[in-house]
Amino acid sequence: MLYNSTENNKEVVSAAQAIAQGISKDGGLFVPQELPKYTEETFKSLLGLSYNERAKIVFSDFLTDFTEEEIADCVDKAYTVEKFGSECPAPLVAKKYNGNEINIMELWHGPTCAFKDMALQILPHFLTKSLKKTYDGKTAVILVATSGDTGKAALEGFKDVDHTKMIVFYPEDGVSPMQKRQMNTQKGSNVNVCAIKGNFDDAQTGVKKIFTTDEIVELLHKNDMLFSSANSINWGRLLPQIVYYISAYCDLVNSKKINMGDKINIVVPTGNFGNILAAYYAYCMGMPVNKFICASNQNNVLTDFINTGVYDKNRQFYATASPSMDILVSSNLERLLYKFSGNNDELVAKWMNQLKTEGKYEVTDEVKKEITSKFFGGFCDDTNTKATIKELFDEEKYLCDTHTSVAINVYNQYVEKTGDKTPVVIASTASPYKFSHSVLEAVAPEAICDDEFTMVDELNKITGAEVPKPIAELKNLEVRFNNVTEADKMPEYVKNTLGI
């Protein structure tokens, strides 16, 4: 299978090159020229398989320049019982909310307690094999912009991986205390973190500028290095997310919640649009889906876009209780626009340029019709986020984090508006203990204090929800890195970190 750039489809690369390079030279994102087609028979053949076995089949259909043995090696090293606690790293948990049956797909059982582990535990294996195939001997310099969860998951996944160096940039005041502590206590001789003044969009824009700055690219080339990415702009990050939606569908059939061929609804709390895009790709491959419900927090740029066809980042930015969605520039939306425009790279490049220069663009009526036919957009503010956490806990004794709460709240809005009770899968993207202050404030505000880990203990006492081992272990770690906060020092810091 070959891949094109969304902004120049004359650029054609292999899967290995797309993963190693991360982003197209023109700034576009790599997408497969065509998607595999799965029939009902294909899905039936997946029913009796384990998660790892399903993953190997899906990956083999996209990574056609990888051998069967290479793919198996990547999967078996990434999704282990030791890392995820069981042979099923993405279990479904059946609950009720406001009388509606919901299936919560818990994607946070990995080493950093966030859904990014599902992709970032396997991406280093994809990348090292891709480098050998396409850039033998070079070191990949991985730049990551994060709104919280990607940073830690990337640091953990790439620590001490040969031929890689990593710098994670995060907004100094735009992540939770737990996320910041996780990043700043990361072990690994090849990984570094850098706090910036600004928000996630500033970090993401800065990383893209570094990627496409000729002077820095040439400097890396002279030192036998190349840039790559661990953000979801990298196809190797997005592909593993397709797997857990296909696997969830099989699990629903196996548990007799649905019959083979029945449609499902999928709800995803999203800011950068990667997680929900992976679900859409699974649909394009043949997974029966009725509606994709895109759940935003108060930074509701995606909600407005889905409802109007106008993407406008010129708006107030809110620091919310669900910080991983505090994003106004949703990078992966570009991939959806490419598909809905009939692979029109010139039109996509025009829209992306308008976003850079004017902060907004409007899609065609045809594209808007495609979007509204498959997607529902809704948002939830902090007050309702916390209310939903409490309601779900009171009703089901189930504790969810702030991002999952946004998804559940928006799903409830969807049902109330449409009456559609198609069986649903809701992506749960983080452990509640990653956001202990906000979750504790929702269920027991009287227990709020200034210390993050005291609040973890209080939340555990009050709810009985198990504290994940990685978070419990953080208490004994010392902060190892000093943050660099001056944005104008970023290029120098990059060079110093690389030792060039």
CATH code for the domain in which residue 495 is found = 3.40.50.1100
Q: State whether 251 and 154 are in the same domain.
A: no
Q: State whether 145 and 265 are in the same domain.
A: no
Q: State whether 423 and 289 are in the same domain.
A: yes
| Least confident stretch, 138-147, 305-314, 400-409 | 138-147
Those residues whose C-beta lies under 8 Å from the C-beta of residue 101, and which sit 6 or more positions away, are: 94, 95, 421, 423, 424
CA atoms within 13 A on the CB side of 315: 17
Q: State whether 275 and 173 are in the same domain.
A: no
Residue 166 lies in a domain: yes
Nearest CA to 468 out of 118, 215, 110 is that of 110
Nearest CA to 141 out of 25, 232, 227, 18 is that of 227
Predicted pLDDT at 484? 45
Give pTM, 2 decimals. Answer: 0.91
Please give the single-letter amino acid code of residue 136.
D
CA atoms within 13 A on the CB side of 32: 20
Strand 164-171: give its sheet, edge to edge: 191-196, 164-171, 139-145, 225-229
**pLDDT above 70 coverage of the chain, percent:** 95
Residue 169 lies in a domain: yes
Residue 56 lies in a domain: no
Residue 61 lies in a domain: no
231 or 91: whose pLDDT is higher? Answer: 91
Write the DSSP symbol of residue 231.
S
- Averaged pLDDT for residues 293-297: 98
Predicted pLDDT at 488? 46
Q: Is the pLDDT of residue 498 over 50?
A: no
- Averaged pLDDT for residues 347-365: 97
- Averaged pLDDT for residues 66-73: 98
- Cα–Cα distance for residue pair 247/54, rounded to 1 Å: 7
* Two tokens, residue 460: 């555990």
Q: State whether 191 and 319 are in the same domain.
A: no
Mean pLDDT, the chain, rounded, equals: 92
Q: Please write the tens of the pLDDT for every residue from 51-65.
A: 999 999 999 999 999
Residue 101 lies in a domain: yes
Q: Is the pLDDT of residue 499 over 90?
A: no
Q: State whether 152 and 245 are in the same domain.
A: no
Q: State whether 108 and 181 are in the same domain.
A: no
Q: Please write the tens of the pLDDT for every residue from 377-404.
A: 999 999 999 999 999 999 999 999 999 9
Q: Please write the tens of the pLDDT for every residue from 15-49.
A: 999 999 988 988 899 999 999 999 999 999 999 99
Cα 92 from chain centre: 18
Predicted pLDDT at 181? 87
* Two tokens, residue 129: 């094999």
Predicted pLDDT at 494? 52
Q: State whether 184 and 97 are in the same domain.
A: no
Nearest CA to 377 out of 270, 450, 272 is that of 270
Range of the structural domain that residue 454 is part of: 86-112+236-474
Q: State whether 286 and 167 are in the same domain.
A: no
Q: State whether 194 and 298 are in the same domain.
A: no
| Residue whose pair of structure tokens reads 């982003």 in the numeric block | 23
Q: State whether 249 and 199 are in the same domain.
A: no
The length of the chain in residues reads 500
Residue 322 lies in a domain: yes
Q: Are 422 and 290 in contact (CB under 8 A)?
A: yes
Residue 200 lies in a domain: yes
| Residue whose pair of structure tokens reads 């899968």 in the numeric block | 425
Residue 266 lies in a domain: yes
Number of domains in the chain: 2
Q: State whether 355 and 449 are in the same domain.
A: yes
